[in-house]
Chains A and B, each alone.
Chain A
Amino acid sequence: DTEVTQTPKHLVMGMTNKKSLKCEQHMGHRAMYWYKQKAKKPPELMFVYSYEKLSINESVPSRFSPECPNSSLLNLHLHALQPEDSALYLCASSPRQEGEYYGYTFGSGTRLTVV
């Protein structure tokens, strides 16, 4: 299995809803990431998890809450979002890499619309 699987592919939620995005990989990767991509913009890093511990939070608002319950799963819990949070949310994973970067595996993303 060489994929990162994200569910759901599309999500529409109201500003008072609570929802979760899920990401799963079975490649034995110990680093997992959340990126946010607004329309016609590049992906921007939100969170980095290494060995199931949060190592980087790029000043993301607390209405986004990441969770890494085990080495294969990464969740992003959403609560009280705003319409401007509508975007493509990309999950990625990577093997342990030191000295040289040689790649991530990105999922296909969850297209989130906040109404």
Chain B
Amino acid sequence: GQQLNQSPQSMFIQEGEDVSMNCTSSSIFNTWLWYKQEPGEGPVLLIALYKAGELTSNGRLTAQFGITRKDSFLNISASIPSDVGIYFCARALYSGAGSYQLTFGKGTKLSVIP
């Protein structure tokens, strides 16, 4: 199957620090996705990337689609306590009739120390 290798597994950072996490795959992807999941909630889409080399921002979050189409990174600048959660990279595979199935990386658990 399509394996997504996400690192690091967990991070403890001081409030105000920048954070970087990445995902790699042995296969070429057409779309890279970044999700955040908070305790007791379902994942929420943060950023979707569609083209090799694409760099997209969403507030303090920036993500890039690697040129080889086999990797992506997510940066969070000036972290705040509400950034705490698990961040997943994911790919979407078309499953017919307008639906998509998602495959997630193992996640990066982010803890922010005030």
- Residues on A close to B: CB < 8 A? 4, 30-31, 33, 35, 41-45, 48, 50-51, 53, 55-56, 90, 92, 94-98, 100-104, 106-109
Interface residues of B in 37-82 (CB under 8 A from A): 40-45, 48, 50
Given known pairs A43-B43, A92-B42, A108-B41, the reply for A100 and B50 (CB within 8 Å) is: yes
B101 neighbours in A (Cβ, 8 Å):
33, 45, 48, 56
Considering the chains assembled together, what is the distance between the CA atoms of A16 and B53 in angstroms? 53
A42 is contacted by which of B48, B94, B105 (Cβ under 8 Å)? Answer: B105
Is the pair B98, A96 in contact by a Cβ cutoff of 8 Å? Answer: yes
Total A-B Cβ pairs within 8 A: 80
A55 is contacted by which of B41, B48, B97, B105 (Cβ under 8 Å)? Answer: B97
B96 neighbours in A (Cβ, 8 Å):
50, 55
Considering the chains assembled together, what is the distance between the CA atoms of A51 and B102 in angstroms? 18
Considering the chains assembled together, what is the distance between the CA atoms of A35 and B102 in angstroms? 9
- Residues on B close to A: CB < 8 A? 31, 33, 40-45, 48, 50, 88, 92, 94-107
Considering the chains assembled together, what is the distance between the CA atoms of A98 and B87 in angstroms? 26
Is the pair B97, A97 in contact by a Cβ cutoff of 8 Å? Answer: no
Given known pairs A42-B104, A42-B105, A101-B31, the reply for A50 and B50 (CB within 8 Å) is: no
Considering the chains assembled together, what is the distance between the CA atoms of A108 and B100 in angstroms? 19
Cβ-closest chain B residue relative to A47: B101
Considering the chains assembled together, what is the distance between the CA atoms of A94 and B100 in angstroms? 8
Considering the chains assembled together, what is the distance between the CA atoms of A56 and B105 in angstroms? 21
